[in-house]
Amino acid sequence: MNELPQQLANGLALGALYGLIAIGYTMVYGIVQLINFAHGEIFMIGGFGALTTYTALPSGTSLLVAIPLMIVGGAIASVAVATAAERFAYRPLRSAPRLAPLITAIGLSIALQQLVWQFYPDAKKAVSFPEFKGEAFHLLDNLAIQRADAFVLVLAPLCMLALGVFVSKSRSGRAMQATAQDPDTAKLMGINTDRIIVMAFAIGAAFAAVAAVAYGLDKGQINFEMGFILGLKAFTAAVLGGIGNIYGAMVGGVVLGIAESLSIAYIEDIPGMQQLGGGAWSNVWAFVLLIVVLLVRPQGLLGERVADRA
Amino acid sequence: MRHRSLLILTSVLTTGALTLTACGSRDEGKGGGGDNAGGTTTVVIGVDAPLTGSLSALGQGIKNSVDLAAKTANKNKEVPGITFKVEALDDQAVPASGQANATKLVGNKDVVGVVGPLNSGVSQQMQGVFAAAGLAQVSPANTNPSLSQGDNWGKGEFKRPFKTYFRTAATDVVQGKFAAQYLFKDAGKKKVFVVDDKQTYGAGLAAIFSDEFKRLGGQVVGTDHVTVKETDFSSTADKVKASGADSVYFGGQYPEGGLLSDQIKKTGAKVPVMGGDGIYDPAFISASGEANDGDLATSIGYPVEKLDTAKKFIADYNAGGYKDPYAAYGGYSYDAGWAIIQAVKAAVAANNGKLPTDARAKVTEALGKVSFDGVTGKVSFDEYGDTTNKQLTVYKVEGGKWVDVKSDTFNQ
């Protein structure tokens, strides 16, 4: 059986998830040049917000009704935490040397993890999340798309499209571009840059919440630690695509996801490479790819949007 | 201005923290002497286990069960003149944390024995620290053979590396072979796909299983590895499906095992996943959704719920008001704690009813000779510090619960 279409689909779904989370890294970096290392935890909190919403619904609610509400509930939780983090952890340090907010971000990430661990009932281990039941969609003989994967594969492009239209067409979107290009001049032009920065955090957080719902529906469980590795991978995706570039985040995510899937499936079939394949090596190959891209094209695949500022 | 106020705030906080620490140590100084008004000596049983993180379900069960053993001993005045206290440290299943905890326990002179840790990989880093201090360690859950029989056990050279190391859990040699025999003979599976998590426990177990399965005449049609804390194994799952395997053996723990089983079932491959005691936990079932009926796990001992000897333990545990269940290793942890208590009893009895000054050495010596009927059956240790209890059980997932399907005493 040819498993290539299936492995590509796996990679694509994983990549779309990385891409959705990577938006948060890339937008915040694009505007304030801060690598928000707590973004993985914003993603995790989106998942717990969605789960809380689900448990508050009357039992027996159809998932079709529940999912939009869960996305809203998750987004409210993650946006609230992200904007609070911006206001109380990052804004006071905005004029400090770059290292200070970076350290704050790492500290915040640990604090948020421990808070959920401590206060969310049963969060000390994985907690179960409503799972997408039912048969996968059999598109071809050798290609089945799981329902949860289909969900993320449909939603991610829609989110990207909406974001693209928002950034290029709306007033706030243009103000955002102006702030990214030169915050001081933007301020002189009457743009409330503080509001724009909060907006960047909020949009990233909302996308992370969508990703968290997709993740929960797929795995059937969420975990207070889940933000760490996924956050790291999404950050990698953002760098791979060109940090600061919102389309780059999605491209970087997809490239990373497919690279991981294919390395697990095929590298050990290459003669002489048996020892370097399989799941054990997927992270190695993902990061080798990152290094190669950065060596050949330091600005990332689609280029760094903010590079022209310096 | 702002910087100065920040400086002042930091200084105040630091001073406050230092003052608090000082208070703490003074209190400790008062109580640390051991003797109190009642004329009893307090000895501490250390516990090291993952109390937080994804394996905390098991770790909390270990901690609580040892706590129950200490409380029972105090209540029954098991050792006259001795009051037992438990000090539990969290290793988060990280070897370096385990080593730091071992150092901390060694530093507390009231500690006469330690129960733990859960993970074989963590134990590797702790054994040396305990051995140097002569402090006995009894693990309720370590199953890697090299911990007690030396690195070359696979070649038939058995050499006990640390005389302070004991365990109430049977080793992976027993468990892996038992699993292979069950899967090949009882379940009639001939083509297995083997996955492990690259850890000391998981990889070791998978290797022992594979060797035995091949020796019996079965075929290993593919192998792969997963990374701990990753959650997407769909590519590995598709490899399993493409290989045409009729069963999967997973060496690792339940967080990864549950997701792997789930993702294999989602590909449409209706094959059972089997694993060791690392996946024998309710969390394995909840992690893998509803479709994992038929998945198998081996675990050491007979099912605790079915043993007459465990009835009292279960009743006491439930009456103890512990927040978490005793989980897979509760019975072994209670027995490990009780073994230390019995060793203290022997050491005290040999020293005219007083705790000997070289308590750690005497307790270690006495541990090698303990023999009593514990929660999990007869508790005693062989010349390597391994349990002499080689009973095993195969469990199967049925209707969202682990049900025991075969219990036996293992003999080569």
* Residue scoring higher pLDDT (A305 or B270): B270
Query: How far, in Å, CA of A19 to CA of A23, rounded?
Result: 6
Selected for mutation to probe chain A from B90, B193, B229, B234 (highest A CB count within 10 Å) is B234
Quick one: average pLDDT of B219-225?
95
CB contact under 8 A, B235 and A10: yes
Residue A11 in contact with partner chain B when CB distance is under 8 A: yes
Share of chain B above pLDDT 70, in %: 90
Complex ipTM, two decimals? Answer: 0.77
- What is the arithmetic mean of pLDDT over A65-70? 94
Average pLDDT, integer, range A178-203: 93
The domain ranges of chain A are 6-296
The span from the CA of A236 to the CA of A25, in Å, is 10
pLDDT band at B6 (very low <50, low <70, confident <90, very high): low
Q: What's the rounded mean pLDDT across residues B185-198?
A: 95
Q: Within 10 Å of residue B303's Cβ, how many Cβ atoms? A: 15
CB distance from A276 to chain B under 8 Å? no
Is the Cβ pair A265, B239 closer than 8 Å? yes
- Given this model, what pLDDT does residue B24 score? 40
Q: Is B385 on the interface with A (CB under 8 A)?
A: no
* CA distance to partner chain B, nearest, from residue A51 (Å): 15
Instruction: Please name every residue paired with A140 in a beta bridge, in sequence order, or none if there are none.
Output: A143
Q: Side chain identity at B103, as an amino acid letter?
A: T
Chain B residues inside the 8 Å CB shell of A265: 235, 238-239
The reported pTM is 0.77
Question: Buried (b) or exposed (e) across B117-131, using 16+ Cβ within 10 A?
Answer: bbbbbbbbbbbebbb
- Cβ-Cβ contacts under 8 Å, A93 against chain B: none
CB-nearest to B287 from A11, A126, A261 is: A126
Mean pLDDT of A58-81: 93
pLDDT of B303 above 60: yes
- Per CB-CB distance under 8 Å, the chain B contacts of A260 are 235
Distance from CA of A178 to the nearest CA of B (A): 31
Residues of B whose CB is below 8 A from A264: 224, 235-236, 239
- The pLDDT mean for chain A works out to 90
CATH number belonging to domain A6-296: 1.10.3470
B220-256 as b/e: b if 16+ CB within 10 A: bbbbbbbbeebbbbbbbbbbbbbbebbbbbbbbbbbb
Q: Which burial class, exposed, middle or buried, applies to A117 when counting CB atoms under 10 A from its CB (0-12, 13-18, 19+)?
A: middle
Domains of chain B: 41-170+304-381 (3.40.50.2300), 173-300+393-409 (3.40.50.2300)
CB contacts under 8 A, B 224-263 vs A, are 224-227, 229-236, 238-239, 241-242, 255, 258-259, 262
Residues of A in contact with B223 (CB under 8 A): 278
- Residue A76 is predicted with a pLDDT of 97
Q: Is A93 on the interface with B (CB under 8 A)?
A: no
Determine whether the interchain pair B227/A278 forms a contact, defined as Cβ–Cβ distance below 8 Å.
Answer: no
Contacts of A119 in chain B (CB under 8 A): none
**Percentage of residues in chain A having pLDDT higher than 90:** 64
Give which of A18, A114, A153, A221 to mutate to test B binding, by max B Cβ within 10 Å: A221
Residue in B224, B229, B266 closest to A279 by CB: B224
**CA atoms of A178 and A201, how far apart (whole Å):** 16
Contacts with B283 from chain A: Cβ below 8 Å: 125-126
Residues of A in contact with B268 (CB under 8 A): 136, 144
User: A278–B225: do the CB atoms touch at under 8 Å?
Assistant: yes
Q: What residue of A is the nearest CA neighbor of B283?
A: A126
| pLDDT at residue B11 tops 70 | no
Q: Which of residues 184-213 of B touch A (CB under 8 A)?
A: 195, 198
Residues of B in contact with A11 (CB under 8 A): 235
DSSP designation for B153:
G
- pLDDT tens profile A100-136: 999 999 999 999 999 998 899 888 778 888 887 777 8
Phi, psi of B117 (to 5 degrees): -90, -170
What integer pLDDT is reported at residue A139 of this predicted model? Answer: 82
> For B146-172, how does the pLDDT look when each residue is reduced to its tens digit (9 = 90+)?
999 988 887 778 899 999 999 999 888
What pLDDT digit, counting tens, does each position of B59-87 carry? Answer: 999 999 999 999 999 999 999 999 999 99
Q: Alpha-carbon distance A194 to A187, whole Å?
A: 9
Residue B43, beta-bridge partner list = B84
Measured between CA atoms, how close is B224 to chain A, in angstroms?
6
> Can you say how many angstroms the Cα of residue A299 is from the centroid of all Cα atoms in its chain?
20
Give A144's contacts in chain B (Cβ within 8 Å). Answer: 267-268
Q: Which residues of B touch A143 (CB under 8 A)?
A: none
Nearest to A146 among B53, B266, B286 (CB): B266
Cβ distance of B225 and A1 shorter than 8 Å: no
How much of chain B, in percent, has pLDDT values that exceed 90? 65
What residues contact B383, with CB distance under 8 A and at least 6 apart? B160
- Distance, in Å, from the CA atom of B185 to the CA atom of B213, rounded to the nearest integer, reads 10
Whether B222 has its CB under 8 Å from any CB of chain A: the answer is no
Q: CA–CA separation, B40 vs A227, rounded Å?
A: 49
User: Is A229 an 8 Å CB contact of chain B?
Assistant: yes
Q: Do B54 and A10 touch (CB under 8 A)?
A: no
Instruction: Report the residue from B52, B223, B259 with minimal CB separation from A124.
Output: B52
Kindly tell me if the per-residue pLDDT of A226 is higher than 80.
yes
Total count of residues recorded for chain B: 412
* Among A3, A260, A278, beta carbon nearest to B238: A3
Contacts with B, A 111-150, CB within 8 Å: 117, 124-126, 128, 131, 133, 136, 144, 146
Side chain identity at residue A304, one-letter code: E
Q: Count the neighbouring beta carbons within 10 Å of the beta carbon of residue B205.
A: 33
Q: Confidence band (pLDDT; 50, 70, 90) for A25?
A: very high
Looking at residue B152, its pLDDT comes to: 84
B311-319 vs B330-349: helix crossing angle, rounded to 10:
100
Q: What is the DSSP letter of B183?
A: I
Residue B25 CB neighbours (<10 A)? 9
- Nearest 10 degrees: CA dihedral of A53, A57, A60, A64? -60
Question: What is the pLDDT at residue B39?
Answer: 65
Q: What is the reported pLDDT for B5?
A: 57
The amino acid sitting at B102 is: A
Contacts of A261 in chain B (CB under 8 A): 234-235
Distance from CA of A161 to the nearest CA of B (A): 26
What is the separation, in whole angstroms, between the first and last Cα of chain A? 52
A18 touches chain B (CB under 8 A): no
What average pLDDT does range B311-316 have in this prediction?
A: 92
Neighbours of A298 (CB within 10 A): 11
Mean pLDDT over the full length of chain B = 88
Kindly indicate the confidence band of residue B4, based on its pLDDT and cuts at 50, 70 and 90. low
Closest in A11, A128, A144 to B286, CB measured = A128
Regarding beta strands B296-300 and B136-139, do their DSSP bridges make them parallel or antiparallel, or are they unpaired? unpaired
Report the distance separating Cα B118 and Cα B126, nearest Å: 12
pLDDT for residue A64: 87
* B375, B310 Cβ separation under 8 angstroms: yes
